[in-house]
Amino acid sequence: MTHKINDRWGATPWTIDFAPQKVSLPASVDIAVVGGGFSGLSAAANAKRFDPARSVALFEAETLGARSSGHTGGLALAETAAGDLPGLGDVLGGFSTILGDLGVSCDLHLPGVYELDRTTQNLESPIHWTDAGNLRLAKQVSGGTLDPGKMVSGLAKAAAERGVLIYEEAQIERVEFTKPMLLHIGGNGVRADHVVFATNSESLELTRLAARAHPKLTMALATGQLSDRKLETLGMASGKPFYTTDLPYLWGRLIHQNRIIFGSGLVDVKDWRELTAIDVNAGKAAELLDKLENRVRRLHPTLLDAQITHRWGGPILITQDWRPVFEEHPKSANAVVIGGYSGHGVALSVYLGAWAAEVLLGRRALPNWKQN
């Protein structure tokens, strides 16, 4: 079964082709995971992988990948938005290993990532674009791309095959932080000894992130298929994605059949609840998509007549210090909150989701970068 990704946020060039079997809510579980994106699916699948005897249930308020994970551009980057952090380890290496251990195939390709700017005078740069100045290659960093729809689907399948109970349209109304904790879902209660909160840009009061992180909406579009010659002319034939290190911000990558995704723009969202009402086909978001399309066409003459096949937006959660949140919930030592990846969530979310599972199973400690 193929899931439709939130139509209000536009159409993405990938699909999610997994839907969980409908089963009754359990009265209790060992581990409850709140959120059905990359982080939550990784935490759930890995919890069962590490300890098959534990009962694990995942609760998603809408459908799997309906928010950040289904609308990301799919750039897999190393480290965090704040750079390397004490004890973080090899994010890309760990991420790749986790996908392999779970048997997830998502077109992961790690050829490196171009960092572009408007000040570097690099005559050997493969990219020569005009965008508020001359965009050129400044340096190359570790990273690459993947198919977000395939990763959501693959993680969900891996979780289900290992016995994780997955529930869509199962919004957590409130949590009683007792021992065990009590999750209220649609008038029902589910008790859980341990909980992973992986809702990222959603439910900020529940995760106690309302005053520490700010939701934004990013904008993106995809072109139709381009010839090999056009990709060579654009400097994209290597398959390496890019992002700018100065403003105005622009990022991009190749996707299926020689198409390019371009992304930019952060729409301010005062309250995370506004995300449920945003329609990228109207208002400010639509205006920004129009501006992005015009901007892309002016990057290079090759793009002037490029077909635009998809336009969409996606939520992102930016923390005050650009560091991801990975810590104990202030109301329970048996609950962990992860999120706030600030644009580096594709690989980091899966990596930290697996780490969160280990924390709740007593196999590993929480990171110490909050205190550094």
- State residue 100's pLDDT score: 98
C-beta of residue 72 within 8 angstroms of C-beta of residue 356: no
Could you tell me how many residues make up the chain?
372
Kindly list the domain boundaries of the chain, sorted by start residue.
7-103+147-211+321-371, 114-142+213-319
- What's CA 297's distance to the chain center, in Å? 27
3-state secondary structure string across 207-233: HCCCCCEEEEEEEEEEECCCCHHHHHH
pTM: 0.95
C-beta of residue 181 within 8 angstroms of C-beta of residue 334: yes
| Whole-number Å distance between alpha carbons of 149 and 61 | 18
Cα→Cα distances 133→119, 220, 298, Å: 8, 21, 12
| Domain over 114-142+213-319 is classified CATH 3.30.9 | yes
Contacts of 175 (CB under 8 A, 6+ apart): 181, 182, 183, 184, 195, 206
C-beta of residue 221 within 8 angstroms of C-beta of residue 292: yes
**Amino acid (1-letter code) at residue 256:** H
Q: pLDDT tens for residues 80-136?
A: 999 999 999 999 999 999 999 999 999 999 999 999 999 999 999 999 999 999 999
- Token readout for 357 is 């599972």
List, for the chain, all residue ranges whose pLDDT scores fall below the cut of 70. Answer: 1-7, 272, 370-372
Question: What does residue 111 show for φ and ψ, rounded to 5 degrees?
Answer: -85, -5
187 burial via Cβ count (<10 Å: 0-12, 13-18, 19+): exposed
Instruction: Report the SS3 class of residue 66.
Output: coil
CA-based max dimension of the chain? 65
C-beta of residue 225 within 8 angstroms of C-beta of residue 257: yes
DSSP letter at 275?
A: G
7-103+147-211+321-371 and 114-142+213-319: same fold? no
For the chain, report the end-to-end CA distance as a whole number of angstroms: 46
Q: pLDDT tens for residues 152-202?
A: 999 999 999 999 999 999 999 999 999 999 999 999 999 999 999 999 888
| Whole-number Å distance between alpha carbons of 279 and 179 | 41
| Whole-number Å distance between alpha carbons of 168 and 221 | 28
Residue 50 is inside which H or E element, if any? helix 38-50
**Amino acid (1-letter code) at residue 26:** P
Instruction: Report the SS3 class of residue 298.
Output: coil
| Whole-number Å distance between alpha carbons of 162 and 158 | 6
| Domain over 7-103+147-211+321-371 is classified CATH 3.40.50.2300 | no
Count of beta carbons in the 10 Å neighbourhood of residue 87: 11
Radius of gyration of the chain (CA): 20
- Token readout for 36 is 């059905």
| Whole-number Å distance between alpha carbons of 7 and 149 | 15
Sole residue written with tokens 């930290």: 352
- State residue 273's pLDDT score: 73
| Whole-number Å distance between alpha carbons of 91 and 96 | 8
- State residue 1's pLDDT score: 54
* DSSP notation for 135-167: EEEEEEESEEE--HHHHHHHHHHHHHHTT-EEE
Neighbour-count burial for 56-77, b at 16+ CB within 10 Å, e otherwise = bbbbbbbbbbbbbbbbbbbbbb
